Chain A
Amino acid sequence: MVDIAPHAHQPVADGPRGKRPKPLFSLRNIVVYGTLLLVSAYYLVPLYVMIVTSLKTMEEVRLGNVFSFPRDITFAPWVKAWAEACTGLNCDGLSRGFANSVWILVPSVLLSIIVASVNGYALANWKFKGADIFFTILIFGAFIPYQVMLYPVVIVLRELGVYGTRTGLVIVHTIFGMPILTLLFRNYFTSVPEEIFKAARVDGAGFWTIFLKIMMPMSLPIFVVAVILQVTGIWNDFLFGVVYTKPDTYPMTVQLNNIVNSVQGTKEYNVNMAATILTGLVPLVVYFISGKLFVRGIAAGAVKG
């Protein structure tokens, strides 16, 4: 038998006590933080180069190297990139592309999210025969190279009479945003406890009532994730823009590429970098504001894909 008589507490003795001592500059810390700082520098250099180049005058760009800090800061390249830079015959700068991109972005994001959320909801909660087959094809569509579908879509848009217009591009973004968004919403709605859905049906709510009154208010975060995903995705798109629009209706990315890579005239590197920053600004702002939700969006969109 063991001894169960109460022991008196023993006093704290000499020797190790409390926190294990950890040197601030242990080898492990040096390796971990050193590597991370080095990698961070590699990641930040391009952003730095973009900014400093865009603030230099052309003379200084030609003299110095890309990393040097500007001696006299000038905002003229920014103004020129926004309002004066030429692509082909248009010389009103990136402002035209910006306007086009916004014109395309807003309806595309709204439309694709509305369609995909309803689809995802129908797939998750109102399963019908054959739904899985269509869904599988849809998901395969996310991986198939778009090049295979480029021309058939041209034909469809031409038949609808919207080839080369911004409306056509909105339709294209809605179509090609569907797989990943439907997946996102379907997975989310599947994770909602089925009892809530059943209770609503017992209370006599139908397809649309349940969606609008119960599911949508519950799933605000996933809608935000979808918006982030679509805003960055559509803003950054180049391929669809260049295939389905014309110079007048080019989105910002296409116009940027045409400005920078145009072969005519002397290269104005400072204007080019200013234009590049301007184009990257919208997704960067979305990224820095959304923080964790952005990560969640790409993780949800990717891991479960």
Chain B
Amino acid sequence: MADTTSSLSGTGSVPQTRDRTERRVLLSLVLAFVTWLIQAVGVGPVLNLLGQAVALGIENLFGWVHIRIPVLSAYQSLLDTATETLGFLRYLPWAALALAALFVGLLFRQGDGFRWAGNRLARKSVGWIVAAALLLLAMALSSLIDDYGKVGKVVAGFATRNGAFLAAFCLVAALALAVIGSSGILVTRAGALERVLVGNVTAKVAALPMILVAMGIFFGGTIWTIAYSFTNSKLLPKEHFVGFDQYARLWGEPRWMVSIENLAIYGVLSLIFQLVIGFLLAVLLDQKIRFENTFRTILLYPFALSFIVTGLVWQWILNPDFGVQHIVRSIGFESFVFDPIYDASIVIYGVLLAALWQGTGLVMCLMLAGLRGIDEDIWKAARIDGIPAWKTYLMIIVPMMRPVFITTLVIIAAGIVKVYDLIVAQTSGGPGIASEVPAKYVYDKMFLGQNLGQGFAASTMMLLSVLIVLIPWAYLEFGGKKRG
């Protein structure tokens, strides 16, 4: 009995040697693709910049005890020798592709002959061949496409540079599929190659935009900006490495220091006030009151408005000649002073006032959802225990809502670092530089000051501050679940 079952499962699965060969084909293909990507999209310079920065960092790691580890020069000379002697590396994609083809040949020998008729993967294989043909076609017609506007130019340029390699890549993949598809052994379980190249292929294609955006923009873009923050790029990005100069200059800039100070004041206060006020308002709305919907609509509508609208309205309300100060003075308090638009020392509190108006409704809504999510029996139990409502909130409900509080905190914090539009609209950073914030510093340096390097360094600092908030939270939120 036991014998038959084991032999049955044996016939269905791929023999180990073949499986190993399949993995080798796959690995060579991946190697070919990655090395091609590094050359085609210009990953090289970015990696080089990061490498130099890391080397410089290590070199100065013990600078405070006057110990320097000469890593940077070692890195430089290593890289120089590498580019000189390992120049053939630029043929690596082709070499890897040839290797993959070799392994496909091995796969063919390990199989039991080749059949096209009745080949399980014939259609998929043809798909790859068609892709290769299209690439070659684009290459051949590149001079023609070139005339079709800017997009045509981009496609044509891409095809001329990379068409041959990608077509070859597709052909090897097609060949591999045709070979494993003709083998009769693989009936019940797909091998490594088939799983990657065929299995779920529609879903993979459908998810392609996400993969491209995630890797290309979010991951790639972030790395790119970090790398170029170590250059002295001015109007255009340059690959001239200047170490941490941009950061040193950044922290020496009064304007940046004011920005950081403002962000700290604004951030801490708006975190506290939004959480406290938002929670209190949610508690008030949770008292089974009449007109709950009306109140909620009123408290949330500013959130639908843009920061620009918010900033402009508050600029007008706080206008010293017509707004609050003027009115209080006109009812008799002649010496009343409240000018958070033109008074540099309190301007950030004026922004805070507007931000609270705009954002507290959201916090209130999140908190209310959290309150409503609490088991009603808890309230009943507390009433029977005779615990007053305020004490129930403080001792039982708030601790139970900890996840909601943490999530809300992260959302507010991520929003705080990004704050830009509100400042631009309400104060334009003024008076002077009194209400500057880091996001505005980045924009001004990048797009107005023709000082890209400063902009990159400043935005990298912003990223760092967000990561400090984000990583512990992600660890708590997702790392904790795996353990539980």
The reply, when asked whether chain A contacts chain B directly with Cβ atoms under 8 A, is yes
Binding site for B on A (CB under 8 A): 28, 32-33, 35-36, 39-40, 42-47, 49-50, 53, 61-62, 64-67, 115, 118-119, 121-123, 126, 128-129, 131, 134-135, 137-138, 140-141, 143-153, 155-156, 159-162, 175, 178, 182, 206-208, 232, 235-239, 242-243, 253, 256-257, 260-261, 269, 272-273, 276, 279-280, 283-284, 286-288, 291, 294-295, 298-299, 302-303, 305
B344 interface residue per 8 A CB criterion: no
Tell me the nearest residue of chain A to B326, going by C-beta: A65
CA distance A149 to B463 in the complex (A): 10
Q: How far is the CB of B269 from chain A (nearest CB, A)?
A: 17
Tell me the nearest residue of chain B to A119, going by C-beta: B210
Q: Is the CB of B357 within 8 A of A46?
A: yes
Q: Is the CB of B204 within 8 A of A138?
A: no
Q: Quick one: which of A207, A253, A302 contacts B203, CB cutoff 8 A?
A: A207
Q: Chain B residues with Cβ under 8 A from A162's Cβ?
A: 150
Q: Chain B residues with Cβ under 8 A from A261's Cβ?
A: 424-425, 428
Q: How far is the CB of B256 from chain A (nearest CB, A)?
A: 13
B304 interface residue per 8 A CB criterion: yes
Total number of A-B contacts with CB less than 8 angstroms? 277
Q: Quick one: which of A66, A122, A260, A284 contacts B312, CB cutoff 8 A?
A: A260
Q: Chain A residues with Cβ under 8 A from B327's Cβ?
A: 65-67
Q: Is the CB of B362 within 8 A of A302?
A: yes
B51 interface residue per 8 A CB criterion: no
Q: Is the CB of A148 within 8 A of B225?
A: yes
Q: Is the CB of B459 within 8 A of A159?
A: no
CA distance A259 to B469 in the complex (A): 37
B99 interface residue per 8 A CB criterion: no
CA distance A253 to B307 in the complex (A): 9
CA distance A74 to B362 in the complex (A): 35
- CB within 8 Å of A: which of B311-326? 312-317, 319, 322-323, 326
Interface range on chain B (Cβ under 8 Å from partner): 35 or more
B447 interface residue per 8 A CB criterion: yes
Q: Is the CB of A303 within 8 A of B407?
A: yes
Given known contacts A40-B299, A298-B365, A303-B369, A243 and B447 CB-to-CB distance under 8 angstroms: yes
Tell me the nearest residue of chain A to B277, going by C-beta: A39
Q: Is the CB of A36 within 8 A of B284?
A: yes
Q: Is the CB of A238 within 8 A of B222?
A: no
Q: Is the CB of B313 within 8 A of A49?
A: yes
Given known contacts A36-B284, A279-B309, A284-B301, A134 and B150 CB-to-CB distance under 8 angstroms: no
Q: Most chain-A Cβ atoms within 10 A of its Cβ — which of B203, B216, B315?
A: B203
CA distance A236 to B408 in the complex (A): 21
Q: Chain A residues with Cβ under 8 A from B369's Cβ?
A: 299, 303
CA distance A32 to B204 in the complex (A): 54
B164 interface residue per 8 A CB criterion: no
